[in-house]
């Protein structure tokens, strides 16, 4: 049997890699993909804990996370398209309107 | 069908009517809403229609409810409307009453307040007075306010007042009563300051409100004391206590859980349980073992609570030391003075003590205080009324004086007579006020009685009704005022409070003095207004009689102030020893009170009737002496001295009475000045320095500086913000790790 | 060494490799393809955890629907390799360092946790993580959140159309 800790460590590693991508990459699309990685890491912990406790609740949570992630991806990509239309770029360093 | 059978066959049975009791309050409230919100666009006639109809509907419902309390149900064989006392055992019924509990209003922990309404004979009488006199005054107002542009506001406030007063009377617990108590205070404030563009009138409204607030504060603290008392009682009481009250611990605590600690029925049961008995029983001298009141005795806390309620009632019912607002409240329109400041709201204190009579009779100290306060207030107000020239001011002081008489009655335990005087006073004082309003209306708003005179021929209806009401308040046989006042004075003389026997005599002789003074100033007002030649300083050459909307209520009220005397007699009119009808009628309300006074030696209540000789003759002689003195002075003495300087005794006494014995100035010196000084200090130090400079401006300054420093951090780069979040997350996790490691 | 551990090791390694490709690839299209493989390997991990339903959904929703959306957007915007490399700003360096630190802290904490999974009875093993059990829970206990999520998806759909449309 594989100890649950291994799964959790894998999830932590995935989460940190996702976060690294969010913080370092400047292409908005890649940042988005990194966010999906982070969401997957969260799902992995849910499922791992579900296995650890022998409880289906973690699976249900993962299910909801996937559904919300789908919604988020749809809206996020729509925003990326809209931004690209208006500015001609999806590089984060070109999008500094929050300063104003 | 005999009369008794007629009264026992109510058109609506109590069981059917009880769930609809809320309508009595809701109708005027709805009227207030409609008049207040849509009044301006509805037009004058519609507003008057809505306002009068709301009160009339409420009156009809009140009449049905009042009737239903005496309903005889032939199927069950019950002789009267009854409902099971929630605090009693299975077969413990409250008779001659209907009640309905609309469920929990709010609850906090163990503390619970239900929205429960109850009509018994006491609240029934008040209901009829409020809605009946209220309707007449609404009708009167349609004519009196015919030239006022803000008529819709006036009727909205008036309806609001009626709704609040009905809440006060219908409530079956102290907190709901307090809602009405505050509601009438607010409506009174709004109506006194109705013509708010006159600063003096707006100021009078504020004075009334602030003075009332002081009383309300005491009322609340008294309520809290009672709540604590109930919880201490439930913790310390044993089977003997509950047995004394005719209930059991299970029933009592179950009802407490369901109805909360502040219902009147529950408080009555506690009062019965506290009456002294065997050695191991909780009674008035038992110390409270736990809680915030630890160490005080039940009786001591009860006295304190009652004295706090006295302060509360003194605010609302204009007694010493809080009476000063009522004379100034005459700044409001005259119908308001008649309804709120004579007939209904100011009697709330008397109602409160009648409602809680079972608790009151546990504390002779509080009762004596109430009686003495009442007597002193009454005498002081009567003396001030001697020298007032404003007709409404005289009537206002007269109201304070009559309320003092009611307080004497309540304080000496003669509750039915106090309620009786409340009722007759509502009739004749409303009649006097409306008469005064009619006089003002017909004389170009002249209120100075020195500048009136000779109105008898010009305003016959007003004259006749004013005369009847004057005779009633003066106490001339056979008008109602005589009997109600005499019942109080007789009771005061014969009831005794344990350890305070001297109070009976003191209050009684003060009462006789008050009766003579009342006769004096009322005769004076009447003579100067209606008799003699018309004053040369009159504003209009000829007064005109008012419209029927104004004279009809006057006539109805005058008739009522005559026929109400019937209630002072027994069923058999000529039996001078029989129990008075009203005493009998109210006995179910005061049954718990009677059980307590019978069981304990605290208060000795007398049930004898006043006799023709000496009681009636004495009272009549006193009234005639006062009235005769006034008649002599104002018909013979002063007219013969026109142009001469006033005699020495007048010069000595007059300024004192004219300036209301300098009570306002005294308050100014000992209360208002220090408060103003403290306020000034607080304004300068706390407000201007600490709050304004340091707190407000300091916060703004710090924020601005910090903001200008942090401005450089705002790059607009989303990733930089995310990096800050990541660092914060790392910090939080590291902190958690360190905490776990240790 | 049992087969489960070997499988876990293989899947974990491949997942991490793919994830690394996602965040380090220069072309977005490469990132996207690496993300697809990450999701597939994650599905394998889910199967090892007896979460069959979640594994299936992972493939269907993520690898199927969401990834197609990503690829579609990349094609639509015609994104190639970025011509210039980003400058290592203070925020990026600090953020990257914080991420590494966070992983270290998380690893320390996780290694202290008790690791043993619950032993399930034979009956529980048969039903654990199946679509029947999940459906039962979702449609009874979690019905309201489920309906709320369906509403959310509708709103997201409408929102996406509105935001992405050039002129309304």
CB contact under 8 A, B718 and A99: no
- Averaged pLDDT, B663-680: 74
Residues in chain C closer than 8 A to A84 (CB atoms)? 77
> Residue C143 above 60 pLDDT?
yes
Residue C93 lies inside a defined structural domain of this protein = no
Determine contact: B718 vs chain A, CB below 8 A: yes
Q: Are residues C71 and C131 in the same domain?
A: no
pLDDT band at C40 (very low <50, low <70, confident <90, very high): very high
Q: Are residues B367 and B485 in the same domain?
A: yes
Provide the pLDDT for residue A36: 92
Cα R_g (chain A), whole angstroms: 17
Say yes or no: B368 and B496 in one domain: yes
B246 Cβ contact partners less than 8 Å away, ≥ 6 residues apart: B88, B89, B92, B269, B272
Cis? peptide before B614, omega within 30° of 0: yes
Question: Around B348, how many Cα atoms within 13 Å sit in the side-chain half-sphere?
Answer: 39
Q: Do A67 and C153 touch (CB under 8 A)?
A: yes
Q: Tell me the mean pLDDT in the region B23-35.
A: 92
- Full domain range(s) for residue C132: 127-168
Is pTM, for the whole model, over 0.95?
Answer: no
User: How would residue C1 be classed by pLDDT, with cut points 50, 70 and 90?
Assistant: low
Residues A80-87 have a mean pLDDT of: 85
B684 and B586 within one domain: no
Does B728 lie at the interface with A, CB-CB under 8 angstroms? no
Please, which residues have CB within 8 angstroms of residue B705's CB and are 6 or more apart in sequence?
Answer: none
Higher-confidence residue of B588 and B60: namely B60
Least Cα distance to B435 among B423, B452, B416 occurs for: B452
Q: CA–CA distance from A80 to each of A25, A30, A31, A87, B247 (Å)? A: 15, 11, 11, 10, 77
Q: Is residue C122 part of a domain?
A: no
B514 shares a domain with B630:
yes
Q: Is B214 among the domain residues?
A: no
Portion 19-38 of A in contact with B at CB < 8 A: 19, 22-24, 26
For residues A66 and C66, is the Cβ–Cβ distance under 8 A? no
Considering only CA atoms, give the Rg of chain B: 29
Please indicate, yes or no, if residue B205 is contained in any of the structural domains.
no
- What is the rounded CA–CA span in Å between residue B180 and residue B123? 14
> Which tens digit of pLDDT belongs to each residue from B359-374?
988 888 899 999 999 9
- pLDDT tens by residue, B516-532: 888 888 888 888 888 77
User: What DSSP assignment string belongs to B425-489?
Assistant: HHHHHHHHHHHHHHHHHHTTS--BGGG----TTTSHHHHHHHHHHHHHHHT-TTSHHHHHHHHHH
**Pair (B389, B537) in one structural domain:** yes
Share of chain B above pLDDT 90, in %: 16
Same domain, B596 and B612: yes
Instruction: Tell me, yes or no, whether B609 and B667 share the same domain.
Output: no
**Would the pLDDT of B150 be above 70?**
yes
Chains that contact C by 3+ CB pairs under 8 Å? A, B
Measured distance CA(B56)–CA(B132) in Å, rounded: 8
Chain B residues with beta carbon closer than 8 angstroms to that of C105: 730, 733-734, 737
Give the mean pLDDT of B668-692. Answer: 78
Token pair recorded at residue B497: 């409070």
Q: Please judge whether C95 and B723 are an interchain contact, meaning their C-beta atoms are less than 8 angstroms apart.
A: yes
CA angle B58, B64, B70 (to 5 degrees): 145
- The structural domain count of chain B equals 2
Output the DSSP codes for C72-126: HHHHHHT----SSPPP--HHHHHHHHHHHHHHHHHHHHHHTS--PPPPPPHHHHH
pLDDT reading at B391 higher than 70: yes
Mean pLDDT of the region B283-291? 81
Structural domains present in chain A: 4-99 (1.10.287.3510)
Domain end, chosen from B637, B658, B679, is at B658
- Cα dihedral B716, B722, B724, B727, rounded to 10, equals -160
pLDDT the model gives residue B79: 65
Please report whether residue C49 resides in a domain.
yes
B441 and B466: one domain? yes
Write down the pLDDT at residue A40.
93
Q: At what angle do helices B249-259 and B264-274 cross, to 10 degrees?
A: 150
* pLDDT at residue B527, as a whole number: 83
Asked whether residue B478 falls in the same domain as residue B502, the answer is yes
The overall longest dimension of chain C from CA atoms, in Å, is: 62
Report the CATH number at residue C16: 1.20.120.1200
Give yes or no for residue C83 having a pLDDT over 80.
no
d(CA C72, CA C68) in angstroms, rounded, equals 6
In a domain? residue B690: yes
Across the range B707-734, mean pLDDT stands at 84
Q: Does the structure show a pLDDT above 90 at A46?
A: yes
Q: What percent of chain B has pLDDT above 70?
A: 93
**Mind giving me the DSSP string for A23-81?**
HH--BHHHHHHHHHHHHHHHHHHHHHHHHHHT-THHHHHHHHHHHHHHHHHHHHHHHHH
- Rg of chain C in Å (alpha carbons): 20
B456-460, B647-651, B705-709: which has the highest mean pLDDT? B705-709
Residue B202 maps to a domain? no
Q: What is the mean pLDDT of residues B553-559?
A: 88
What would the pLDDT profile of B480-518 be if each residue is shown by its tens digit? 888 888 888 888 888 888 778 888 888 888 888 888 888
DSSP-derived letter for residue B509 is H
For chain C, the domain total comes to: 2
> Do residue B715 and residue A92 have CB atoms under 8 angstroms apart?
no
Note the pLDDT tens digit of each residue in B52-110.
Answer: 999 999 999 999 998 888 887 776 666 677 788 888 887 778 888 888 888 888 888 77
Confidence of residue C158 (pLDDT cuts 50, 70, 90): very high
- Non-local (6+) Cβ contacts of B32 within 8 A are B54, B156, B157, B159, B160, B163
**Would you place residue B169 in the very low, low, confident or very high pLDDT band (cuts 50, 70, 90)?**
very high
pLDDT tens across B170-181, in order?
999 999 999 999
Give residue B374's domain range: 363-658
- Please answer whether residues B211 and B315 qualify as being in contact, where contact means their C-beta atoms are separated by less than 8 angstroms: yes
Residue B226 lies in a domain: no
Q: Are residues C132 and C70 in the same domain?
A: no
Is B629 domain-assigned?
A: yes
Q: Please state, rounded to an integer, the average pLDDT across all residues of chain B.
A: 84
- Please report the pLDDT score of residue B659 as a whole number: 67
What does the pLDDT read at residue B660?
A: 64
Q: How far apart are CA B669 and CA B511, in angstroms?
A: 30
Q: How many CA atoms lie within 13 A of B734 on its CB side?
A: 13
For residues B582 and B516, state if they share a domain. yes
* ipTM associated with this complex: 0.89
Q: What pLDDT band is residue C27 in, cutting at 50, 70 and 90?
A: confident
Higher pLDDT, C79 or B383: B383
Let me know: does B473 contact B518? Beta carbons within 8 Å: yes
Looking at residue B295, its pLDDT comes to 84
DSSP B318-351: T-TTSTTHHHHGGGS-HHHHHIIIIISGGGHHHH
């Amino acid at each position: 049997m594989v100890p649950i800790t291994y799964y959790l460590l894998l999830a932590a590693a995935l989460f940190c890699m996702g976060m690294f991508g969010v913080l370092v990459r400047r292409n908005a699309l890649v940042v988005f993909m990194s966010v999906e990685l982070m969401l997957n890491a969260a799902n992995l912990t849910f499922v791992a804990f579900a296995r650890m406790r022998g409880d289906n609740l973690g699976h249900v949570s993962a299910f909801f996370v996937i559904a919300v992630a789908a919604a988020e991806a749809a809206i996020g990509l729509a925003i990326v398209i809209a931004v690209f239309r208006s500015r001609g770029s999806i590089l984060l360093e070109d999008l500094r309107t929050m300063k104003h | 069908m005999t009369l008794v059978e007629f009264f026992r066959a109510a058109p609506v049975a109590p069981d059917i009517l009880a769930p609809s009791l809320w309508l009595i309050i809701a109708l005027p409230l709805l009227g207030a809403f409609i008049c207040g919100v849509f009044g301006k666009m509805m037009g004058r006639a519609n507003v008057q229609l809505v306002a009068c109809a709301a009160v009339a509907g409420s009156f009809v419902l009140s009449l049905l409810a009042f009737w239903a309390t005496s309903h005889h149900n032939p199927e069950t064989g019950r002789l009267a409307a009854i409902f099971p006392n929630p605090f009693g055992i299975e077969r413990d019924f409250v008779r001659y009453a209907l009640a309905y509990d609309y469920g929990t209003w709010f609850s906090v922990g163990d503390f619970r307040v239900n929205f429960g309404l109850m009509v018994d004979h006491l609240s029934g009488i008040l209901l009829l007075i409020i809605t009946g006199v209220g309707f007449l005054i609404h009708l009167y107002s349609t004519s009196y306010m015919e030239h006022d542009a803000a008529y819709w506001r006036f009727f909205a406030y008036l309806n609001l007042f009626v709704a609040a007063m009905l809440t006060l009377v219908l409530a079956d617990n102290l907190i709901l009563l307090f809602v009405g108590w505050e509601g009438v205070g607010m409506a009174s404030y709004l109506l006194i300051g109705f013509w708010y563009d006159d600063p003096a009138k707006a100021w009078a409204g504020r004075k009334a409100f602030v003075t009332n607030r002081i009383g309300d504060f005491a009322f609340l603290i008294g309520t809290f004391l009672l709540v604590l008392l109930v919880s201490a009682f439930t913790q310390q009481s044993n089977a003997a206590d509950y047995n004394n009250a005719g209930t059991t611990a299970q029933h009592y605590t179950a009802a407490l859980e369901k109805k909360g600690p502040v219902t009147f029925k529950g408080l009555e049961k506690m009062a019965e349980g506290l009456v002294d008995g065997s050695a191991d029983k909780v009674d008035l001298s038992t110390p409270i073992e736990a809680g915030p009141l630890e160490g005080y005795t039940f009786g001591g806390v009860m006295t304190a609570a009652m004295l706090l309620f006295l302060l509360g009632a003194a605010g609302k019912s204009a007694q010493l030391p809080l009476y000063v607002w009522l004379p100034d409240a005459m700044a409001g329109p005259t119908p308001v003075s008649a309804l709120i400041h004579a007939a209904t709201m100011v009697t709330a204190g008397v109602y409160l003590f009648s409602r809680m009579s079972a608790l009151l009779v546990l504390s002779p100290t509080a009762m004596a205080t109430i009686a003495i306060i009442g007597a002193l207030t009454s005498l002081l107000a009567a003396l001030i009324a001697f020298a007032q020239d404003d007709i409404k001011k005289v009537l206002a002081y007269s109201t304070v004086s009559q309320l003092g008489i009611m307080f004497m009655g309540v304080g000496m335990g003669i509750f039915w007579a106090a309620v009786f005087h409340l009722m007759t006073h509502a009739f004749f004082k409303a009649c006097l006020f409306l008469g005064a309003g009619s006089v003002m209306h017909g004389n170009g708003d002249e209120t100075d009685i020195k500048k009136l005179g000779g109105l008898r021929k010009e305003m016959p209806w007003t004259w006749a009704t004013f005369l009847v009401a004057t005779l009633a308040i003066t106490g001339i046989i056979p008008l109602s005022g005589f009997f109600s006042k005499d019942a109080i004075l007789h009771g005061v003389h014969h009831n005794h409070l344990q350890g305070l026997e001297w109070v009976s005599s003191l209050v009684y002789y003060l009462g006789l003095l008050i009766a003579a003074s009342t006769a004096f100033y009322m005769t004076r007002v009447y003579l100067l207004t209606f008799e003699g030649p018309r004053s040369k300083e009159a504003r209009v050459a000829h007064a005109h009689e008012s419209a029927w909307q104004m004279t009809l209520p006057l006539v109805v009220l005058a008739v009522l102030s005559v026929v109400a005397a019937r209630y002072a007699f027994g069923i058999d009119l000529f039996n001078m020893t029989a129990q008075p009808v009203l005493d009998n009628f109210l006995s179910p309300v005061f049954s718990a009170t009677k059980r307590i006074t019978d069981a304990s030696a605290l208060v000795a209540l007398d049930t004898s009737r006043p006799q023709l000789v000496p009681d009636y003759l004495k009272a009549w002689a006193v009234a005639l002496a006062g009235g005769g003195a006034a008649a002599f002075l104002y018909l013979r003495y002063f007219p013969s001295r026109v142009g001469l300087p006033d005699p020495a005794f007048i010069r000595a006494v007059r300024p004192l009475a004219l300036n209301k014995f300098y009570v306002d100035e005294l308050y100014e010196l000992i209360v208002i000045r220090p408060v103003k000084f403290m306020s000034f200090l607080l304004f300068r130090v706390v407000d201007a320095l600490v709050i304004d400079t340091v707190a407000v401006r300091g916060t703004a300054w710090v924020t601005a500086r910090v903001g200008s420093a942090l401005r450089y951090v705002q790059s607009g780069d989303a990733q930089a913000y995310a990096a800050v979040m990541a660092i914060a997350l790392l910090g939080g996790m590291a902190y958690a790790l360190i905490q776990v490691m240790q | 060494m049992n087969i489960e551990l070997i499988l876990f090791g293989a899947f974990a390694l491949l997942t991490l490799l793919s994830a690394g490709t996602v965040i380090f690839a220069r072309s977005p299209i490469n990132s996207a393809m690496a993300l697809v493989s990450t999701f597939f390997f994650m599905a394998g991990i889910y199967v090892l955890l007896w979460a069959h339903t979640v594994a299936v959904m992972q493939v269907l929703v993520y690898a199927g629907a969401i990834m197609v959306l990503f690829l579609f957007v990349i094609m639509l915007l015609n994104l190639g390799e970025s011509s210039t490399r980003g400058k290592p700003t203070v925020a990026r360096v600090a953020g990257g360092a914080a991420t590494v630190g966070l992983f270290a802290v998380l690893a320390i904490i996780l290694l202290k946790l008790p690791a043993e999974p619950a032993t399930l009875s034979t009956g529980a093993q048969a039903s654990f993580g199946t679509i029947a059990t999940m459906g039962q829970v979702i449609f009874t206990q979690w019905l309201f959140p489920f309906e709320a999520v369906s509403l959310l998806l509708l709103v997201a759909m409408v929102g996406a159309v509105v935001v992405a449309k050039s002129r309304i």
